[in-house]
Amino acid sequence: MNKNYLKLTFLVMISLYFNNSSAKAEFLVLANPSIPINEITKSELKQILLANKTEFEKKKVTIIALSPDIPEADAIDQEAMGMSAVQAKKYWLIKVFNGTLETTPITGDSADEVAEKVGETKGSIAVVAKGTKPGKAKIVKLK
């Protein structure tokens, strides 16, 4: 085998390893304007996404999530919740079966679709890739 080919292969593998292991998804928190918040801590957001906090000022919160089939869903859910999109889906199903949640989160097949659903659904909140246009939803600042 060509020595240059082996060197190039090695460098590509090292690059992929470090890019994948250290890269963090940058995300944006979107909320329906009916949610009475303009900023949130990452800890508070995680409690909402884990369905441990289900209300804001006595108003029910609806989670809207990216479909687990969307490539960016894993990185965003990992950063926001500490689990993959498939693990999050299983987690929410368990919450439904034990009565903590009425239903699993509404899902969208793209960040734009999620943003549109957040804008239309009172009390909803979502996490999408940074750079997503919020549409009628508002951007909630992470503090």
pLDDT digits (tens, 9 = 90+) for 86-113: 999 999 999 999 998 889 999 999 999 9
Could you tell me the two tokens for 55? 């209300």
| Residue 9 within any structural domain of the chain | no
Instruction: Judge whether residue 23 has pLDDT over 80.
Output: no
Tell me whether residue 18 is in a domain: no
**In-domain check, residue 83:** yes
Domain of residue 89: give its range. 25-142
Model confidence band, residue 68 (pLDDT cutoffs 50, 70, 90) = very high
Going by C-alpha positions, the residue among 96, 99, 118, 91 that lies closest to residue 107 is: 118
Q: Does position 74 have pLDDT exceeding 50, yes or no?
A: yes
What is the CATH classification number for the domain harbouring 119? 3.40.190.10
Q: Is residue 136 part of a domain?
A: yes
Q: Of 66, 32, 60, whose CA–CA distance to 48 is shortest?
A: 60
Whole-number Å distance between alpha carbons of 72 and 23: 12
Average pLDDT of the chain, as a whole number: 85
Query: Would you say how long the chain is, in residues?
Result: 143
Q: How far is CA 129 from CA 30, 60, 88, 139, 142, in A?
A: 10, 24, 17, 12, 14
Is 14 within a domain? no
Q: Is the pLDDT of residue 143 over 80?
A: yes
Nearest to 25 by CA among 131, 116, 130, 96: 130
Provide the number of structural domains found in the chain: 1
Residue 5 has pLDDT above 50, yes or no: no
How many C-beta atoms surround the C-beta of residue 136 within 10 A?
A: 12
The answer on pLDDT for 25 being more than 70 is no
pTM assigned to the model: 0.80
pLDDT above 60 (res 123): yes
Is there a domain that residue 2 lies in? no
Q: Is residue 107 part of a domain?
A: yes
Is residue 14 over pLDDT 50?
no
In a domain, 44, yes or no: yes
User: What single letter denotes the amino acid at residue 28?
Assistant: L
